Amino acid sequence: MKASKKLLAVILALVVGAVVSGCGGSSPENREITLSIATGWDESAVIANLSSIIMEEDLGYEDVALQELELGPVIQGVASGDLDAYQDVWLPNHQQQLSEVENDIVQLDPWYEGTTEFGIGVPYYMNITTIPELNDTNVDQILGIEPGAIISERIPDSVIPTYNLNQEYVESSTPSMLSEVDNRYNNQEEFAFVPWRPHWMNAKYDFKFLEDPEDALQDLNDGATISSIVNEDLPDDDPVAYAFLNSIRLTEEQVNEIENINPNDYGEAARTWLEDNRDVVQPWIDAAREAEGS
C-alpha cells in the first residue's frame, strides 16, 4: 500500500512538472530560434539583427540564427515551421502572400511607428512631379528591385500601360539598383527608380516620389503597416520569443539611424546603436522576461 502511494506521488510530480513546463515556464537557455530576412529589404535585416543580438545577449538564447531568402520562400518558410519568424511584413503590400498561409501563421502588432511610402521616384533636379511626365524626359528605364516585390509586378502590368510610358521596367536586386542610383545621382543624370521609406536612401539622396494621378499603383499608394509574422506554434512553444517579438517598436528615425551607421553590416550597426539606446529596447526585454516568469 505504501509503495503504491509512493508510486502515485512520483507520477503526480512528473505530471505537474510537465504541465508547468508546458505553460511556458522554461528558460530560453539552450533554446534556438531562426529569424528570417528577405533579400533586398534593408529594414528586414535591421530588425532581425537587432532582435538576434538582444535575444542572445539579454534573454539568454543560445543561438538566434538569421536566414536570408527571397520574400516568397521566407513567408512559406514561416508557415511550414522551417523558419520561426519574419519581421518585415508590409500590409496591404503583402496581403496576397499572407492569405495563402493565414492558417499557419500568427501576425503580430505593427512594430514600425513611422509613415511608409513606396512608388516611383526621380532625383530632385528633374523638373517633373508626376509619373506620366516621365515621357517628357530622356529616361528610358525605371530602375527596379527584386522580382518577388509586388511593385515589380504593378509597374509593368499597371503603371506602364495606364500612362503609355516609353520606359521599360528593369528588375534587379536592391543593392544593384542603389549602386546604379548612386552613380547616376552623382553624375546628375536623369533617371527613375523605385524608392521607399523607411530606408537610408531617404537620408543620402534628395529625391521626390512622383504623383500617380490615375492611381495605377493602387494600394501601394496607401501607407502600409510593418509587422511580424511567426509560425502558428511559436506562441505556445516559445512564449518568451513571442512576447519579445510582439513588443518591439521603432520609429522611422530610429530605423534610418541604425541603417546609416553601417549599411554594409547591419549586425555591427545594430550593436553600435544599442550602446546608446538601451532605454528604447528595455521594454521589449521586460515583456519577454515577464512571459518567461509566467
CB 271 within 8 A of CB 264: no
**The amino acid at 100:** E
The answer as to whether 17 is a domain residue is: no
Cα→Cα distances 211→94, 153, 163, Å: 22, 19, 12
Query: Are 204 and 126 found together in one domain?
Result: yes
Out of 174, 197, 221, a domain closes at 221
Query: Are 216 and 268 found together in one domain?
Result: no
What's the pLDDT tens digit per position in 68-112?
A: 999 999 999 999 999 999 999 999 889 989 999 999 999 999 999
The sign one gets for the Cα dihedral 183, 258, 232, 62 is positive
Query: Are 54 and 148 found together in one domain?
Result: no
Cα 137 to Cα 250: distance, rounded to the nearest angstrom: 38
Query: Are 239 and 186 found together in one domain?
Result: no
Using pLDDT thresholds of 50, 70 and 90, give the confidence band for residue 15. Answer: very low
The answer as to whether 22 is a domain residue is: no
Residue 21: pLDDT over 50: no
Query: Are 84 and 57 found together in one domain?
Result: yes
What's the pLDDT tens digit per position in 199-238?
A: 989 989 999 999 999 999 998 998 899 999 999 999 999 9
The answer as to whether 24 is a domain residue is: no
- Chain mean pLDDT for the chain: 90
Number of domains in the chain: 2
Query: Are 125 and 194 found together in one domain?
Result: yes
Ramachandran class of 60: left when φ > 0, alpha when ψ lies in -120 to 50, beta otherwise: left
Q: What average pLDDT does the segment 252-266 reach?
A: 91
What is the share, in percent, of the chain residues with pLDDT greater than 90? 80
The answer as to whether 125 is a domain residue is: yes
Query: Are 111 and 231 found together in one domain?
Result: yes
What's the pLDDT tens digit per position in 139-176?
A: 999 999 998 888 999 999 999 999 999 999 999 999 99
Residue 23 confidence (pLDDT): 42
Domain of residue 48, CATH code: 3.40.190.10
Residue 19: pLDDT over 90: no
What's the pLDDT tens digit per position in 28-76?
A: 567 899 999 999 899 999 999 999 999 999 999 999 999 999 999 999 9
pTM: 0.80
**The amino acid at 63:** D
The sign one gets for the Cα dihedral 211, 217, 220, 222 is positive
Range name among 148-152, 183-187, 228-232, 250-254 with the lowest pLDDT average: 148-152
The answer as to whether 8 is a domain residue is: no
The answer as to whether 6 is a domain residue is: no
Query: Are 108 and 172 found together in one domain?
Result: no
Query: Are 263 and 144 found together in one domain?
Result: no
Domain of residue 153, CATH code: 3.40.190.100
Cα 257 to Cα 194: distance, rounded to the nearest angstrom: 21
Domain of residue 194, residue span: 117-221
Residue 29 confidence (pLDDT): 60
What is the share, in percent, of the chain residues with pLDDT greater than 70? 90
Out of 204, 221, 238, a domain closes at 221
The answer as to whether 4 is a domain residue is: no
Residue 13: pLDDT over 70: no
The answer as to whether 12 is a domain residue is: no
Residue 294 confidence (pLDDT): 65
**Rg (alpha carbons) of the chain, rounded to whole number:** 23
Query: Are 91 and 177 found together in one domain?
Result: no
Query: Are 93 and 164 found together in one domain?
Result: no
